[in-house]
Every structure is written in C-alpha cells, then in structure tokens.
Amino acid sequence: MKRVTFIHAADLHLDSPMVGLKSLPASIFSRLKESTFVALERIVNKAIEEKVDFVILAGDLFDSEDRSIKAQTRLRNEMKRLQMHGIPVFAIHGNHDHLDGSWAHLDMPENVHIFSTDVERKIYTTANGSHIHLYGFSYPSRHVFERKIVDYRKEGEADFHIGILHGNIEGNHEHGNYAPFSIKELLDKDFDYWALGHIHKRMILSQDPPVIYPGNTQGRNRKETGLKGGYLIVLEEGKKSFEFFPTSDCLWTEKEINVSEVNGFEQLYLTCKSLIDAERESKVGILLKLHLTKLRKENNPSERDILNDLLEALQEDEKEEASFVWTYAVTAEEQCIWDKETLANQTDFYGELFRLSGELGELGHSLDILFHHPQARKFLNPLTEEEKKEMIRYAESFLVDQLLKE
Ligand SMILES: [Mn+2]
C-alpha cells in the first residue's frame, strides 16, 4: 500500500538571542539560549524513533541572516544524525535565513536537500516504493512579496504531492506579508499536504488535505506562549493523519490571579507563590507573566511600587533548577496607588489629561519615525491593537506617576 510518514517542522530560529529579560539568572539565561537547539534535537529524536521517511523544515531554520557558526554546526550535527539513520531532510529557507545574507558557509551533509530560489520539484521514493513529489523554494532575499503560490503546480505522476511554503496566509497582519496566499489557492493545487512555515502560532488551515502551520519549535519571547513543536504526518490512500508533538524546552506563559480576598503584602506574596509552585512542571522551564486582578487599594497604602517589590521577592526565591518558573513580569488590573476619578476631581488638569488620553485611542503618527526608518523597519512587526492600547495606558500611568512624585 502507498504510504508515507514524515515530520513537518518550521521556524526553528536556531540561536535566537532571547534578549529583553532583565535580571535573569545566568543558568536560566543559558537554558533559554540553548532551547532552540534542544527543540531541534527533539525533532531529530522523534524522526529516528518513528522511523519516518523524511523530515521537512519549512523555513527560518536560522534566526538571523548571518547564520552563526554555532547554529550551522549544531544543525549539521543533527542532520548527520538523521543521515546515519537513512533519513533525508527537505528544507527551504525563509525571510529570516534568506540566501542574501553574508555568512561563513558550512556544507550540510548529503541527506539535506535545500530548495533553490525558484519553486522547484524534488522527487523521492520511500523504502516501501511510494513516489513522492515535493515542491518548494527558498527566499533569495528577505522581502519576498510576490505571490509565489502561482508558481506551484503538480508535475508528473506521484503517489503523493507535497507543497512546502514559507509565507503569510492573507488577512494575517501580525507577520510580514511575505509570499502571501489564500487557502483556496492552496487547495486548488490539489496537493496531498501543505507544509507551511512563517507564522509562529500553530494553525491547521485545512484537515483534508492537511494544510498546517506547525508554529515555531521553541517560543522566543513573551508573545510566543504555550507549547511549541512539530507534526508527525502519515499519508495513505484514503487516510491522512497528523499529530502534534511538543519540542519546546522553555515555555512562555501568562496567568491571571484574582487577589480580591488578599490582605497585605505577605499574603499577596504567598498567594502568588503557591500559584507559581502549582505551575511548576517536571524538567520544563517556565517564563511567567502574572496578572493580578481586583487588587485592593488598601493593600498598597504607602509604597507605590508594590508590583515591583512583589516581582523582586518572587524572583529572589526562584531556585536555579531544571524545573524553574521565572516570573518576568507582574501586572495589575489597576495601578492601585491613584484612581482617575479622585484625581480628576482634585484639579481640572487631571480631568483634561484623562479626557485626552481617552480620546487618543490611536497612536496617530507618533511612531512613524520609527516604523518608517529604513533600517529599523526591517526588524519591526506592526503593533497589534492590544499593544497600542497598552502603550497609551502605560504612557498615562507614567505621566501621572511622575506628576505625583513632585
Ligand atoms: Mn519565523
């Protein structure tokens, strides 16, 4: 019977710098820095364990266009491990690891087939005699805005046709709109499987044929929350199955905690601490953002930075062990030191300030200088509505905090 099994992963972002966390203990930082490599090892382990016919890596294998020697060496070693088990790899490069970067080039072993910059077909016959046609292309440069999907077409006779594409599903505004496509365009190609990459959130766009964004293999920042991993795919005549498997070594997560019943700092601390201990998972590192809801004003009579104190206390306590839970931020529903109404009643100035910030709603053109900057814009993703609102909220709190200091 015609049958093929393979692993589909994407967006490995090897050697991602994992910057942006303050006061991270060295051991946790190095664990985090290592995590993209651990995820790669887990993909390879899974491939060997399941004796798959091949592995597909759908772009952004490396985090930066100047692929570090470390990232290349580690990838090469893992690819060799697959080679020793007779497992080939079909890979494309995406917008992060496009072919226009400058890097000291390390050759990959012969089992690794990298697609060229035009959509091309590669042919593979599995051990059980199933004929597979794989189609894909690698990014020649960072910004590929063309609809490369139009260049994909079924060629010749095969048992299974598989498309590999690093690009953006139309309508998604959180990622660069590279090599865009619609679901209809993919389905019209009449392929048996679409191995997508680019969007870091796991998404199944179609069940039959399966069209899958596996998401990235390890979260790289606070926005990339939850378990990350790859898919194990089995295609048979009349049956297509796919199954997610996790590879992330560190998890970014956010938790909400209702503290309406809590009295005083000590109790607040203990309440958060017990939630943190409940989150702890064996051998998994967790990076946690805690959000307090219903924090009572009387819990914070004098000190203004109770949230900072709480954060420090929780961090202080965290042992540097394999199953860590590192709280990187504590936020609260209310900046509990002042409330708008009282302030607005005190002086017209505050009334006017809150009215203005309420009307703002949009950031207007205030960020244009940054987002239109020729260098900076390459590295920026557009802000989400939620992020814009948070910036306005933050600016408002910052302003009032400064004014109250005087
Ligand atoms: Mn990516």
Q: Which of 213, 246, 279 is the last residue of a domain?
A: 246
- Worst-scoring range by mean pLDDT, 168-177, 196-205, 297-306, 383-392? 297-306
Whether 183 and 261 share a structural domain? no
φ, ψ of residue 333 to 5 degrees: the values are -60, -40
Whether 136 and 176 share a structural domain? yes
Q: Which of 246, 262, 291 is the last residue of a domain?
A: 246
Whether 202 and 273 share a structural domain? no
Whether residue 105 has pLDDT greater than 90:
no
Please tell me the predicted confidence (pLDDT) of residue 100. 85
The beta strands (E) that lie in 259-324 are given as 285-293
CATH of residue 176's domain is 3.60.21.10
**More confident of the two residues 299 and 156:** 156
Q: How far is CA 99 from CA 69, 82, 159, in A?
A: 16, 24, 31
Number of domains in the chain: 2
| Residue 73 CA to ligand 1 centre (angstroms) | 20
| Residue 335 CA to ligand 1 centre (angstroms) | 35
| Residue 244 CA to ligand 1 centre (angstroms) | 18
| Residue 95 CA to ligand 1 centre (angstroms) | 7
| Residue 221 CA to ligand 1 centre (angstroms) | 12
Whether 286 and 383 share a structural domain? yes
Whether 285 and 364 share a structural domain? yes
| Residue 89 CA to ligand 1 centre (angstroms) | 19
Range of the structural domain that residue 230 is part of: 3-246
* Mean pLDDT of all residues belonging to the chain: 89
Whether 193 and 132 share a structural domain? yes
| Residue 344 CA to ligand 1 centre (angstroms) | 46
| Residue 252 CA to ligand 1 centre (angstroms) | 17
Q: Measure CA of the first residue to CA of the last residue in the chain; give whole Å.
A: 79
What average pLDDT does range 244-259 have in this prediction?
94
- Worst-scoring range by mean pLDDT, 134-138, 218-222, 263-267, 381-385? 381-385
Q: Which of 246, 268, 300 is the last residue of a domain?
A: 246
Whether 238 and 145 share a structural domain? yes
pTM, full prediction: 0.80
Whether 214 and 127 share a structural domain? yes
Whether 209 and 347 share a structural domain? no
Whether residue 341 has pLDDT greater than 90:
no
Please tell me the predicted confidence (pLDDT) of residue 335. 47
> What are 120's strand-pairing partners?
136
Residue 306: strand, helix, or coil: helix
